[in-house]
Amino acid sequence: MKAPEHPEGTYPEGTYPEGTYPEGTRRRPGRVHLVGAGPGDPGLLTARALELIARADTILYDRLIPAQALDGARADAELLFVGKQGGGHSVPQEQTQALMIERARAGREVVRLKGGDPFVFGRGGEEALALREAGIPFEVVPGVTAGVAAAAYAGIPVTHRGLSTAVALVTGHTQAGASDGEEREGEDDGERRTGARDGERWASEDAEAHESQRDWQALAAFPGTLVFYMGVRQLERIASSLIDAGRPASEPAALVERGTLPDQRTIGATLATIAEAARRERVKAPAIAIVGAVAGLTSELSWLATGPLAGRTVAVTRARAQTSELARRLGELGATVVQAPSIRTQAISDPTLPPLNPARYDLICLTSPNGVGFLFERLDDGTHPPGDARSLANTRIAAIGPGTARALAEHGIVADVVGERFVAESLVDALVDVDVRRALVARASEARDVLPDALRARGAEVDVLALYETVAEPLSSSALEQARAADYITFTSSSTVRFFLQAARAGGERNAGSTGSDTPLSSTTRIVSIGPVTSATLREHGLEPHVQAQRHDVDGLVDALLADAAEHDG
């Protein structure tokens, strides 16, 4: 790229456009990656998208990205929501672009994450132009676009031998300047917004002028499948315009709402009946409309099974880095998962402490899967000869429960002792026949002392090593709002309870009038606790859990939730 002509010294440190930074400086602008996140199913994120998400310093994301898309982000990555907030306002496009450019100039690797494909009604092209103009290098990572994917998940091949040899992706919006993708129309309430106040709006000359620009004759004559994005509110107009322009009223048509998501709905009709069907079924955005003979194949080829949790929303409050397993299980069962991570774990590093020497102990106890990760980080923290699994060779290793044992196994360590349940008492029982002289309990900074006390009572010398601490993760107001209204909310530790309620109460005060600070959850939300300790914390905060897992791990929690859902029909 040709370096823009700027006299040296016009830019503050770290903000030189590519190619213009002075020699000798190591600062240079980062890249911006315009990344498609696919239509909703996290399995449809590309390998490249996942790789870039894992590496990014800054991620700017919209609302229509898969709930789990950010799970793999670095714990210290800056995550900026630039889509529509709960109140309905989105960050203006110019501001998003400015933010992106500013972060890149500061040398950060920026991922701009968009639903579907960034260049299909996603304003990705505009953003790329702004980047080019600013001299910021960028990369475009295509994504699986909703028009094709939602159709496929509904059993509709957009082309099919003998039925359709071409496919057109069309915006359903005719409002001036509205074909701009997710920030304005793709949000859940985007189409409602343009719909509700639109009675008058559509009557305005502006809209009519724009409307008449659309060549309905050409679209009607298109020899193949028509796929409409952002069209729910405009279906009536789309269908009647197509019919008036000569498209057969009896042609098959289908609507796919929340395509590829666990609660996907497909509504089959004809061009003549599609708008009425959408009204009757109360179809909401995001949805695509497919017009063409292929739409008729949905009745034969529909393949997506609905799980026992279909139609239920479940909020997950545990740390983002840990949600994936729980969210994946719930998603597979058909639930719509609301990610509301209220906590985050971070390593405690105290440079004044002597290096960790595992050989001093004849037993090391790990009390959580998190602890395992931080232990290995600590072993290899550079303050002593590099440590890995070999430095644990001569020490017995105990895991508090099966999840912790699995985390150890991922590091090549088979635990010698495993508690049956994920509570300290269970590990104490499991250790009853183990001879212990010097033990290390490696754990979170705030934890109960059941295990060290029990070992000391048996005459062992016990060191407690605080490897990590749990801190509050700020919750976006939209995540908070969705979590509060969910059918279920899951708490997997006392700290998720404390920090979620803290965030909910703070949010509740800000949105005074909606949900008061005394009612952090909707009265219909059922509270699921992973075990007795978490339940006790809930009660301390005035909340009675409706469900408590019998096994205190992810599997146990999911089983308990399933059983409850079966008892309480939607």
Which H or E run contains 59? strand 58-61
Q: Name the minimum Å distance from CB 476 to ligand SAH.
A: 19
Active-site residue, 62 included? yes
Nearer to ligand SAH, 145 or 476 (CB): 145
DSSP 469: E
Binding region for ligand SAH (CB under 6 A) out of 254-262, 307-315, 461-469, 527-535: 254-262
Out of 37, 44, 64, 291, which residue is the one contacting ligand SAH (CB under 6 A)? 64
Would you give the binding string for ligand SAH spanning residues 179-218, x where CB under 6 A is met?
A: --xx--xx--------------------------------
Burial 396-435 (b: 16+ CB within 10 A, else e): bbbbbbbbbbbbbeeeebebbbbbebbbbebbbebbeebe
Residues in region 397-436 near ligand SAH by CB under 6 A: none
Q: What is the DSSP string of 190-236?
A: HHHHHHHTHHHHHHSHHHHHHHHHS-HHHHHH-SSEEEEES-GGGHH
Cis peptide leading into 4, omega within 30 of 0?
Answer: no
Q: Name the minimum Å distance from CB 435 to ligand SAH.
A: 58
Would you give the binding string for ligand SAH spanning residues 309-348, x where CB under 6 A is met?
A: ----------------------------------------
Nearer to ligand SAH, 289 or 379 (CB): 289
CB 59 within 8 A of CB 78: yes
Out of 285, 397, 549, 560, which residue is the one contacting ligand SAH (CB under 6 A)? 285
DSSP 84: B
If DSSP states are collapsed to H, E and C, what string results for 251-300? CEEEEEECCCCCCCEEEEEECCCHHHHHHHCCCCCCEEEEECHHHHHHHH
Q: Name the minimum Å distance from CB 446 to ligand SAH.
A: 40
Q: Name the minimum Å distance from CB 239 to ligand SAH.
A: 16
Q: Name the minimum Å distance from CB 125 to ligand SAH.
A: 11
Closest CA to 431 of 455, 411, 453: 455
Nearer to ligand SAH, 143 or 224 (CB): 143
Which H or E run contains 402? helix 402-410
Residue among 84, 114, 117, 553 flagged as catalytic: 84
Nearer to ligand SAH, 61 or 121 (CB): 121
Active-site residue, 429 included? no
Q: Name the minimum Å distance from CB 340 to ligand SAH.
A: 20
Give CA–CA dist 234/328, Å, rounded. Answer: 34
If DSSP states are collapsed to H, E and C, what string results for 309-352? CCCCEEEECCCHHHHHHHHHHHHHCCCEEEECCCEEEEECCCCC
Q: If binding is defined by CB under 6 A, does position 229 make contact with ligand SAH?
A: yes
Q: What angle, rounded to 10 degrees, do the helices at 124-134 and 93-105 form?
A: 40
Give CA–CA dist 62/79, Å, rounded. Answer: 11
Q: If binding is defined by CB under 6 A, does position 260 make contact with ligand SAH?
A: yes
Nearer to ligand SAH, 115 or 369 (CB): 115
Out of 68, 96, 145, 298, which residue is the one contacting ligand SAH (CB under 6 A)? 145
Q: Name the minimum Å distance from CB 336 to ligand SAH.
A: 12
Q: Name the minimum Å distance from CB 18 to ligand SAH.
A: 27
Residues in region 470-499 near ligand SAH by CB under 6 A: none
- Give the CA dihedral 134, 138, 143, 146, nearest 10 degrees: 0
Out of 224, 259, 358, 373, which residue is the one contacting ligand SAH (CB under 6 A)? 259
Nearer to ligand SAH, 286 or 419 (CB): 286
- The neighbour count for residue 320, using CB atoms within 10 Å, is 23
Supply φ then ψ for residue 197, to 5 degrees. -85, 10
Cα atoms in the Cβ-side hemisphere of radius 13 Å centred on 372: 22
Residue among 57, 62, 487, 553 flagged as catalytic: 62
Residues in region 100-119 near ligand SAH by CB under 6 A: 114-117
# residues contacting ligand SAH (CB under 6 A):
28
Site residues (vs ligand SAH, CB under 6 A):
39-40, 64, 114-117, 120-122, 145-146, 150, 181-182, 185-186, 229-230, 256, 258-261, 285-288
Could you list the active site residues? 62, 84
